[in-house]
Amino acid sequence: MDDLKQFDIRIFAKTSQGVNTDDFMGVLQRWIQKHAVPGALIDVADYGHIQNGHGTILIAHEYNLSIDHAGGKMALLVRVKRPAETTLATRVESAVRLALKACDLLEQEPEFAGKLTFDRSSLVFTANDRLRAPNDDATYAALKPAVESSAAGVIGSGAKAKRVQVDPRERLTIQVG
């Protein structure tokens, strides 16, 4: 499964009451100026007009980082597009660390202080390559150890993985927590 290069890491907000989603645009633009997160940061786009969509997106060469509203719940989403050539477990762990760093930074931004907190006790991994990672039992069995061990290394050793989506028409999704 080491050939899987494109995937998402999603960490849900625990609290987001009182957050003005328009503020994400300015905050993420500041991040580009300050090089607050690693990578080749390119631009910020606002898709807030799309209901239950990606909201505001920080576009980098290697990944996109967005304030996601899929399913109607706010989350931080890291979409890995061009990862370093390492093992899948290392790539997942790197993406989880990036997501957690972004969560920390967002919670500390003056616009969100005391209003926005993230639930670091669980995360959701979604494979974004249906050819290399079809949503079936064999792929889940192959991915589960890498995803579980990578996430456990960051969110805690008691983390257990479970398959969320079993419909083969949907992307393979694994929740760890």
Q: What are the structural domains of the chain?
A: 7-176 (3.30.310.50)
| Confidence bin at 13 (pLDDT 50/70/90) | very high
pLDDT digits (tens, 9 = 90+) for 122-168: 999 999 999 999 999 999 999 999 999 888 877 877 889 999 989 99
Mean pLDDT (whole number) for 84-99 = 91
Q: Which one, of 70, 48, 84, 37, lies nearest residue 57 by Cα? A: 48
Task: Return the pLDDT at 71.
Answer: 80
Percent of the chain with pLDDT over 70: 100
Task: Return the pLDDT at 132.
Answer: 94
Mean pLDDT (whole number) for 11-24 = 95
Task: Return the pLDDT at 9.
Answer: 97
Is-contact 96 150, C-beta < 8 A? yes
Instruction: Count the Cβ atoms, other than its own, within 10 Å of residue 3.
Output: 9
Task: Return the pLDDT at 168.
Answer: 95
Mean pLDDT (whole number) for 37-59 = 91
Report the DSSP pairing between strands 63-68 and 41-47.
unpaired
| Confidence bin at 53 (pLDDT 50/70/90) | confident
Q: Which one, of 37, 145, 159, lies nearest residue 88 by Cα? A: 145
Give the DSSP H/E element, type plus range, for residue 24. helix 23-34
22: left (phi > 0), else alpha (psi -120 to 50), else beta? Answer: alpha
Task: Return the pLDDT at 100.
Answer: 95
